[in-house]
Amino acid sequence: MEADDPIIPIASAAQLAGMHPQTLRQYDRLGLVVPRRTSGKSRRYSLREVAQLREVQRLSSEGVSLQGIKRVLELENEVVALRTRVRQLETALANELLSRPGARVFASSTQGDVVPLRHGTRAARRTELMVWRPVAIDPDEE
């Protein structure tokens, strides 16, 4: 069972959140906490949505407007979605790196650009000499 699984009916969600079921219906209409629906159109809340209902109650008791609460919840939902996407991308990258060890080889060109090389090839050996002369810094300019 995951935190986002819609398994809790409205009466139980209201009890867990310490609210009246009509308040949950109103929050659903306002778009604050929108539960998923069953095929029979009844509301089913997830554990995460019950936690959001508690957060709505807490913010409301602190004097935050419903519009402000809605914005806070939207931002929190966006953070959750972005964290999930980052985990997916990290997993995909790790799987890619594990499936092709040593497949990515790079070298530097004479202009300093990064140049990809095929696995098993070597960069051309250069024998040019570069002389570096640091610029003297005038102590009065600092």
Report the predicted TM-score, pTM, of the whole model to 2 decimal places. Answer: 0.61
Instruction: Give, in order, the Cα–Cα distances in Å from 37 to each of 44, 54, 130.
Output: 6, 20, 70
Question: Mean pLDDT of all residues in the chain?
Answer: 85
Task: Write the pLDDT tens digit of every residue in 104-132.
Answer: 667 777 777 777 777 677 777 766 666 76
Task: Write the pLDDT tens digit of every residue in 56-66.
Answer: 999 999 999 99
**13, 63, 59, 53: which is closest to 32 by C-alpha?**
53
| CB distance 72 to 62 below 8 Å | no
Q: What is the rounded CA–CA span in Å between residue 96 and residue 73? A: 35
